[in-house]
């Protein structure tokens, strides 16, 4: 997960939610929404390289629908193709070693998705 600053200019990695159970995952997300007074959710949609919606994207949409039944915060999807590749490149350039590589890539990929959304809104 990533959050933006209050002005909606800069996205930063926040945390990783290790998927366990939809109910627990939704609770973790809604707790973050409440704690940080989130006004918009931007969900990464894992489209296929040809732009189509595959099985994983359908799972994301189903989970997001369930999340929407637990919060009034609007959700917008953002294409997440190649964000992990971008995150890996950024990590190589920064070469930090605080957490597992997979967790860092996911958090940075979330920030890349959110930053793209923020940049489009300007």
Give per-residue pLDDT as tens, 38-78: 999 999 888 878 878 889 889 989 999 999 999 999 999 98
Give dist(CA 11, CA 59) in Å, integer.
25
pLDDT at 120: 85
Query: What number does CATH give the domain 2-117?
Result: 3.30.420.140
DSSP state of 94: H
Please give the sequence-ordered ranges of beta strands (E in DSSP) within 5-117, or none if there are none. Answer: 11-13, 41-45, 75-79
pLDDT at 47: 80
Structural tokens at position 62: 């189903």
């Amino acid at each position: 997960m990533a959050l933006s600053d209050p002005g909606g200019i800069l996205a930063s990695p926040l945390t990783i939610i290790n998927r366990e159970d939809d109910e627990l995952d939704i609770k973790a997300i809604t707790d973050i929404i409440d704690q940080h007074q989130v006004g918009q959710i931007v969900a990464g949609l894992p489209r296929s390289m040809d732009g189509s919606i595959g099985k994983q994207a359908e799972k994301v949409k189903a989970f997001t629908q369930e999340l929407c039944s637990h919060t009034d915060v609007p959700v917008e999807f953002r294409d997440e193709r190649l964000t992990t590749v971008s995150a890996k490149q950024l990590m190589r350039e920064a070469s930090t070693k605080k957490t597992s590589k997979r967790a860092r890539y996911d958090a940075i990929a979330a920030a890349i998705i959110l930053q793209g959304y923020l940049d489009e809104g300007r």
